[in-house]
Structure 1
Amino acid sequence: MSQPLEFTVGGLLDAVAARFPDTDALVYVDRGIRYSYRQFNEVCRQVAKGLLGLGIRKGDHVSIWAYNVPEWVILQFATAKIGAVLVTVNTNYKSAELEYILKQSDSTALFLVKSFKDTDYVATLNEVVPELQGAQPGMLSSATLPFLKHVVFIGEETPGGMINFERIMALARDVSDEELAAAERSLDCREVINMQYTSGTTGFPKGVMLTHHNIVNNGFNIGECMKFTEKDRLCIPVPFFHCFGCVLGVMACVTHGSTMVPVELFDPLAVLRTIEQERCTAVHGVPTMFIAELEHPDFPKFDLTSLRSGIMAGSPCPIEVMKRVIRDMHAAEITIAYGQTESSPVITQTRTDDPIELRVATVGRALPDVEVKIADIETGAVLPPGKQGELCTRGYLVMKGYYKMPDETARAIDAEGWLHTGDLAVMDENGYCKITGRIKNMIIRGGENVYPREIEEYLYTHPKISDVQVYGVPDRKYGEQVMAAVIVKKGVELSEEEVREFCRGKIANYKIPRYVKFVDSYPMTASGKIQKFKLREMAVRELQLEDGGEMA
């Protein structure tokens, strides 16, 4: 095995800035922002000093609730330079989810933008923390969130109780370079630096603790699979709050001195324009993003001949889409990646020279320095090539654990250090893996992981619902859609729209059931376990989803 990188995230940026000082590090086409690695490192250093000036220290948890604004990627490195843990909040979250994340993570600070799509972030936060409006900035005292002291606003016209991001830059003037250097010297690359929430079968999101070591090495190996160098320019339209954005995007670039070219909010036209203007050599996306780009009426007008590589991940890739990305987008070396947040996140990836059949029929082979095995679900024995079992992985990429959930951690990582993914897979003689199903009843809708138990727990709070089972059904556009089979309490009536309305504003839109079916009972096993696969089969027949469902 090769020697893993021993950098902290901040130390990595220092080293790359010294090696490629004048190479573009971060470019925002629409904002006219263009930082070289020297300039980007300096901005991150200033914000790190400002965080120290605010009173944030090593080990403190700092949440960020924002789409792909420049401040997001700056904070990723600024927090890392002082050893604060960046807690990434899904941009689609609503009030109940936000409250849970801030509370469970013990966040002392929250950075946020004004709004995203149909959600007013400021109003949502005030709903969760009514004390904020009248609070002195930096002196928040919340009954619900006792740890939360600072709310930092990214944008103009700072709302009550918050301070502006620009103030962080001003606070940096009162902190010396030596104070920052002392903070950096105190860090160890095996310490936690990032916390991302992934829903669990328990119904409650779990904070996945990732270290400098996890994401630096995973980012490096991902970039190696795409053959990244300082000459590559990656268009990043996938969200930073996902590992897809902040590891497969940001860390893959920075480990190779490549240029990050983010798109703030996904829009197919903005992606095409960005690739053309910046002569991007790579682009990331889930299949639905690539489809939207290819099918945009203005697609033929753009010169995409600079493209070479990138990653398609998040859900299975249709072969025709892959062929068009290679032929029409010129990304002949596009790769497929598979993993999960708990593995930092990539476990397997195709290589740039793999034939198209392998890039569509498989999720590639293990990254360098990563072990993968297919284990028998009943006995745990390692299975030979061609046999289906659970995909397990071991190595530098395995998370530190779930925050404050030792039992959940022990269930995910066994005594020998193997992370159990819960995914069913088959491996061939050359190590290429094919994902064949899921042990867990997780739904993947448009690249978003949706855990039925979480939605069920919420719907159980509806006064008219006696029981509910949530499961996925096929959908041509999103891969899967959410469906709920509801048993209504005796003597009351409930409509599909009432169920959906109950969810609006409380859970993310992508988790709201697309289909609602009212039933009197569920199909059961002899031992009394509900058979969700039978509910799914019935729905496929009744809704005529055999061909992949409607184009919703």
Structure 2
Amino acid sequence: MSQSPSLPLSLPALIAWAADEYNDKTAIKEGDRRVSYDELAQLGCRAAAAFVAAGIEKGDRVAIWAPNMTEWIEAAIGLESVGAVLVPLNNRLQGNEAADILRRSGARILLTYTRLEKGEPLAMLASEDLPALEHRVLLRGSAERAESWDAFLDRADGVDIEVLEARLASVEPDDVADMLFTSGTTGKPKGVLCTHRQNIQVFKTWGDTVGLRSSDNYLIINPFFHTFGYKAGWLAAIIFGSTILPVMAFDKEAAMKQIEADKVTMLPGAPSLYEMLLADPARDNYDLSSLRLGVTGAASVPVKLVKDMRDVLGFETVVTAYGLTESTGVVSICRPDDDAETIATTSGRAIEGVEVKCANPETGDEVPRGSEGEIWVRGYNVMLGYFDMPEATQETITEEGWLRTGDIGVMDERGYLRITDRLKDMYIMNGENVYPAEVEKTLYGLEGVAQVAVIGVPKAPQGEVGMAFVVLKPGASLDKDAVAAYAAANLARYKVPMHVAFVDSLPLNASGKVVKPELKKLAREQGLG
């Protein structure tokens, strides 16, 4: 099916267009349930009417804290279709972390699930002060503390069709569609604001570049709370008319079984996903020959992995990409005809219509090709700003519209980027960004800790894992297990340092800042670099 040159640039208009374009083709298949594009539009409208009945106005925030499922997509379509702002929450958060985002976003409704990684969300939030939160809704299951999704949808029956149609028509391409929270160097989460136009335009371009097709069966393992699972996931699938196959919880064997059963063609993910499949001796028990397209990134990619994805797993197309939440998820991407070494050693070149340069972070001047500089981005993909944080926005987006990514890279003569370091000290574990400042701030709360510094160290297949260097207060007695247990009790699992080293002092520069390259050297001496 060919793509219309006049693709609608608001989500409600896009869903209506997709229903006309793809009609009875399967939009979502989850277990035994199939939802056609026609039905998805109807489900989205019913959800939209329910949000209107619940008093949601244009610009109100609605949070979703749940695993990948059909109802997640229904709810997101419904709330965005009436001009509300989607606030996805990471399923690995502790209750206090989730509550902080709910408070700061002012979310009026929370849509959640019975149990997530850290426990029951409703129980985790029971003691939290959430003054703006009016409704708690379970997308599946039932609980005393929440309304069921079916009961919530029943509210739609009281909404006049003309009222609903007016609300859908009122949503403009440049209205805010979502607020995805990403931790900053201070450890305080920032709400990134992106519009309907940005989401649709960026992922139409992304899909055209990687070669997404309406015939693709798209296994979405990447979580919907992430840009990779939401925007490059089900939203891109809808733009191109692909079939969405949501994965609620990843299991290698179950994934291979589903690839065979559903003839999966599109399988994006962090490098660790493919490494796990390649290393699994049970892989030969399954027919994975349907796999066609793989998109990866988020960590360094060995050349051998790219070759093995093609030669062993059978992918026709493998590409790597680079992006951040503040760039609507995409900055640069390889092209399908790039050679394996380019795909493995670079993050591609800028997407169409976007400018990228490696700049002197002090002056903003582009550095010579082949030299390291801070990656700056300008174009339609740059966020509107951080929610309710004008100073942070001003620090991140220059007056000329350049987004300062905080990442250090090298651009070659072809315009291809190689990410070499991170100004913000961020490291990536299994595709999840981890900010040392947030982990350090948490560990300072452990009785007996005088100083702490956290770095990322390489480890396969995760990419990188955390290592904490701890200086104890005089007379204090702590062991590695105590540090790890405290971190696990206060942080999402992927933020918990895998390694802990006790040191007499931290290496400091003349201004008293920790010299993290020295810590990386210490880690290497311990065989962890």
TM class by shorter chain equals: over 0.9
> Are 2:91 and 2:117, in contact at CA under 8 Å, matched by a contact in 1?
no
List aligned pairs for 1:504-523, cutoff 5 A.
504-523=488-507
Equivalent in the alignment of 2:17? 15
Partner Cα distance (1:437, 1:224) in 2:
29
Letter in 1 for 2:311: R
State yes or no: 1:391 paired with 2:389: no
Partner Cα distance (1:424, 1:5) in 2:
35
Letter in 1 for 2:61: H
Partner Cα distance (2:126, 2:312) in 1:
47
Deviations along 1:328-363, one digit per CA (max 9) or x if unpaired, are 222121211110011110111111121112111111
Shift of 1:4: 9.1
Letter in 2 for 1:418: W
List aligned pairs for 1:354-369, cutoff 5 A.
354-369=338-353
Q: When the two structures are superposed, what TM-score results if normalisation uses the length of structure 1?
A: 0.92
Among 442, 454, 474, which residue is 2:426 paired with? Answer: 442
Partner Cα distance (1:89, 1:16) in 2:
27
Q: Secondary structure at the match of 1:491?
A: coil
Shift of 1:155: 2.2
List aligned pairs for 1:325-474, cutoff 5 A.
325-474=309-458
Deviations along 1:53-90, one digit per CA (max 9) or x if unpaired, are 12222111111111102111112211111011110100
Q: Secondary structure at the match of 1:126?
A: coil
Equivalent in the alignment of 2:520? 536
Letter in 2 for 1:377: P
Q: When the two structures are superposed, what TM-score results if normalisation uses the length of structure 2?
A: 0.96
Partner Cα distance (1:19, 1:5) in 2:
11
> Are 1:474 and 1:540, in contact at CA under 8 Å, matched by a contact in 2?
no
List aligned pairs for 1:310-329, cutoff 5 A.
310-329=294-313
Q: Secondary structure at the match of 1:86?
A: strand
Q: Which runs of 5+ in 1 are unaligned?
A: 129-143, 547-552
Q: Secondary structure at the match of 2:125?
A: helix
State yes or no: 1:245 paired with 2:229: yes
Shift of 1:421: 0.8
Equivalent in the alignment of 1:86? 86
Partner Cα distance (2:423, 2:249) in 1:
33
Equivalent in the alignment of 1:155? 140
Partner Cα distance (1:293, 1:348) in 2:
26
Equivalent in the alignment of 1:67? 67
Shift of 1:287: 0.9
Identity %: 37
Shift of 1:169: 2.0
Which deviates more, 518-527 or 52-61?
518-527
Letter in 2 for 1:105: S
Q: Which runs of 5+ in 2 are unaligned?
A: none
Alpha-carbon RMSD across the aligned residues, in angstroms, is: 1.6
List aligned pairs for 1:131-280, cutoff 5 A.
144-156=129-141, 158-280=142-264
> Are 1:348 and 1:366, in contact at CA under 8 Å, matched by a contact in 2?
yes
- The structure 1 segments of at least 4 consecutive aligned residues displaced by more than 6 Å after TM superposition are none
Which deviates more, 332-341 or 454-463?
454-463
Shift of 1:32: 0.8
Partner Cα distance (1:507, 1:353) in 2:
41
Q: In 2 relative to 1, CA 500–213 (structure 1 residues): closer, same or farther, beyond 3 Å?
A: same
Q: Secondary structure at the match of 1:234?
A: strand
Deviations along 1:90-143, one digit per CA (max 9) or x if unpaired, are 010012211111111111111111112452323212243xxxxxxxxxxxxxxx
Letter in 2 for 1:145: L
Equivalent in the alignment of 1:545? 528
> Are 1:234 and 1:310, in contact at CA under 8 Å, matched by a contact in 2?
no
Shift of 1:166: 0.7
Among 287, 293, 296, which residue is 1:303 paired with? Answer: 287
Among 24, 27, 49, which residue is 1:25 paired with? Answer: 27
> Are 1:155 and 1:165, in contact at CA under 8 Å, matched by a contact in 2?
yes
> Are 1:309 and 1:352, in contact at CA under 8 Å, matched by a contact in 2?
no
Q: Secondary structure at the match of 1:312?
A: strand
> Are 2:271 and 2:461, in contact at CA under 8 Å, matched by a contact in 1?
no
